[in-house]
Amino acid sequence: MPNYKFIQCDVFTDRIFAGNPLAVFPDGEGIDDATMQKIAREMNLSETVFVLPPTDPSKALKRLRIFTPGAELPMAGHPVVGTWIVLARRGVVAPPESGNGTVRVFQELNLGILPVDIEFERGSPVKVVMTQATPTIGEPLDEVEAASQALNLSPEEIGDDVLPILIASTGLPYLIVPVRSRSALSRVVINNSALTALLKRVGTDAVYIVTRDTYSPDAFVSTRMFTDESIGIGEDPATGSAAGPLAAVLTHYGLAPMQDSVAHFIIEQGVDMGRPSRIEVDVEVEDKKLKSVRIGGGAVFVLKGEIEL
């Protein structure tokens, strides 16, 4: 029976037992769709990635298929960052001749072909930066009462003087819900039926809760992410596919720190789970319009093993 090796790493952190755990199968060719889903359910992490040959080698170096315990995703942030750290460590991407610098490759996701930049220091990959899809930002939503019920907070704790509740996407849509303090953020307890009803009504399956009252002095915002029960995640300690839309929203509403037409800042997540994560984001603005959104971070190896099918 075939054996498939996997590596588990923690993403958006520089130390083990923090960040968001990820399982990567560097050679997933030969595993059928149903078995990929079963493996992801068995791993029971936020996501499991299967690396495959690209559909068109002239357009992408590798194809990544990303599964939660409950479903396949068209794209995600922490799986991309962690997988390319793994692949670069395995020699799939060679460092620059000097050992230092950035190498750009293209990856195939179910969403399409997107670039990835891998930063090397002394020949080792230290950071992966993912360019996400063009951001879309919805209109403000009047959902304070519904959000307070879903999050078990008072209506007075929901909201921000500038930032509204809305839907935003850079590939996956998220309901962005601002709260007024990190105390409120820490006290969120999900009412599953109320959250499911709210997410179904607004047309997404995940909520990203944000406050500008941060835990770390160098973080710009602190966040938590919860999904509908059907996704099989619950709370996620670091969500790159949500950090991108949030970064776009903060820039769109004039809240993000700008320098030379680029907003650069850190989103912290996972603190209340005991898995602090740091997601670096860059939003480029051109002619007062959002041009690109990039998210990045590092990853550390935790364990490796193999599964016999």
User: Taking CA 58 as the corner, what is the angle to CA 52 and CA 60, rounded to the nearest 5 degrees?
Assistant: 40
Q: pLDDT tens across 118-167, in order?
A: 999 999 999 999 999 999 999 999 999 999 999 999 999 999 999 999 99
Q: Could you say which DSSP state residue 37 is in?
A: H
Which 3 state secondary structure label does DSSP give 124? strand
275 and 151 both lie in a single domain: yes
Q: Specify the pTM.
A: 0.94
Domain count, the chain: 2
Could you tell me if 45 and 10 lie in one domain?
yes
- Distance separating alpha carbons of residues 24 and 5, to the nearest angstrom: 9
| Same domain membership, residue 249 and residue 167 | yes
* 88-124 pLDDT per residue, tens: 999 999 999 999 999 999 999 999 999 999 999 999 9
Give the CB-side neighbour count of residue 67, counting CA atoms within 13 A.
24
Residue 39 shares a structural domain with residue 183: no
| 56: CATH | 3.10.310.10
Active site residue 47: yes
Chunk the chain into consecutive blocks of 10 residues (it has 309) and report each block's average pLDDT, rounded to whole numbers: 93 97 97 97 96 98 96 93 97 96 97 96 97 95 98 97 96 96 97 95 96 96 90 87 97 95 97 97 94 96 95
- Residues 141 and 213 placed together within one structural domain of the fold: yes
Helices (H) and strands (E) in the chain, counts: 6, 19
Task: Judge if 105 and 158 occupy the same domain.
Answer: no
**Containing domain of residue 47, as a range?**
3-132+298-308
In sequence order, the 6+-apart residues with CB closer than 8 A to the CB of 130 are 77, 80, 81, 114, 116, 117, 240, 294, 295, 296
> Which of 42, 47, 121, 143 is an active site residue?
47
CB atoms inside a 10 Å sphere around CB 260: 7
